[in-house]
Amino acid sequence: MSILSKFKLENKTAIVTGAARGLGMAMAIGLAEAGANIVIPDIDYEEARKTASEIAELGVETLALKTDVTDEEDVSRMVAETLERFGQIDILINNAGICKHIPAEEMSKKDWEEVINVNLTGVFLCAREVAKPMIKAKKGSIINIASMSGYIINYPQPQVSYNASKAGVIHLTKSLAAEWAKYNIRVNAIAPGYMKTKMTAQFLEKKPEMKEFWVAPTPMKRMGKPEELQGAAVYLASDASSFMTGNVLIIDGGYTVY
Ligand SMILES: NC(=O)c1ccc[n+]([C@@H]2O[C@H](COP(=O)([O-])OP(=O)(O)OC[C@H]3O[C@@H](n4cnc5c(N)ncnc54)[C@H](O)[C@@H]3O)[C@@H](O)[C@H]2O)c1
């Protein structure tokens, strides 16, 4: 098989959580361009439907679902409805995530738990449920969207629950990779740096001066564009990365080198 054909995802089904917009949407488009059918579970069902119909124009099948990744019943239904429609799940990108900027000493248990529940528990629940059919099929690729915040502490904004959740995602990735290698399921992560999405825009709208703190220590002197994660997503989803598991691709314009 030639190297470029190993990147192809035709006849594969990919679930990308939280792909109604932002990084998830960009990665879903990348997988669709490589040939995969796409499932978009998102709490924002209207946006998910719009994105699903846009992606369908690329010539693949798509399905939008109303799913809260923190809700076990929703996650079970996500897997059941995907299997009903497509008969298989080959790829899961655990992308849904949230961030709160609150000083640690002022953070309520509720705010702490909301972030941990979506970013860490949600990743675990989706991985656990999707692994069940993958174990039966004896194949699969799971990609968790961590962050450079799992390695470094962002400055100047205080985001303790986010940073802790993303460090958790990195170790969860390694743990699941170790457990599920025997089933031919690979589990890897992508750790983006500062990317231009609604998540970062909502913070920059309130404090535009933060951008300089984000960009100045980035060797490439800019924020990333969502489509700049597409190559990594297709690589990790496909047979091009067949000997890679339990690892993390850091895509941050060099922010973590200093
Ligand atoms: N933007 C960045 O700079 C950046 C950097 C590193 C990592 N990340 C991570 O990338 C992922 C995507 O971030 P983004 O910037 O595209 O964010 P975004 O806010 O633009 O999009 C997040 C999507 O997730 C959905 N979502 C939120 N909570 C959900 C839930 N409980 N169940 C299902 N869907 C839910 C939202 O409706 C939205 O469609 C997140 O995990 C984020 O932590 C982002």
- CB of 165 closer than 6 angstroms to any ligand 1 atom: no
The reported pLDDT for the residue numbered 217 is 96
Q: CA-CA distance, 48 to 65, in Å (whole number)?
A: 7
What does the pLDDT read at residue 183? 98
Residues marked active site are found at: 162
Ramachandran sector of residue 138 (left: φ over 0; alpha: ψ -120 to 50; beta: rest): left
**E-strand stretches of 20-174:** 37-42, 62-66, 91-94, 140-145
Phi and psi torsions of 158, nearest 5°: -85, 120
Q: Which residue has the tokens 């470094």?
A: 152
CA of 182 to the centre of ligand 1 (A): 31
CB of 67 closer than 6 A to ligand 1? yes
Q: Give the Å distance between the CA of 199 and the centre of ligand 1.
A: 7
pLDDT of 199 = 96
Task: Assess whether the C-beta atom of 160 lies below 6 angstroms from ligand 1.
Answer: no
pLDDT, one tens digit per residue, over 171-228 is 999 999 999 999 999 999 999 999 999 999 999 999 999 999 999 999 999 999 999 9
> What local confidence, expressed as pLDDT, does residue 196 receive?
97
User: For residue 1, what pLDDT is reported?
Assistant: 87
CA–CA gap between residue 194 and residue 76 (Å, rounded): 32
**pLDDT digits 0-9 by tens, 118-143:** 999 999 999 999 999 999 999 999 99
Q: What average pLDDT does the segment 70-92 reach?
A: 98
Distance between CA atoms of residues 193 and 150, nearest Å: 10
Q: What percent of the chain has pLDDT above 90?
A: 100
Residue 214 is which amino acid? Answer: W
The alpha carbon of 97 and the centre of ligand 1 are apart by a number of angstroms equal to: 4
| Residue-range domain boundaries for the chain | 3-197+224-253
Instruction: Give yes or no for residue 165 having a pLDDT over 90.
Output: yes
Across all residues in the chain, what is the average pLDDT? 98
Measure Cα distances from 2 to 7, 8, 9, 53, 101 in Å: 9, 11, 14, 32, 47
Q: Any idea which architecture 3-197+224-253 has in CATH?
A: 3-Layer(aba) Sandwich (3.40)
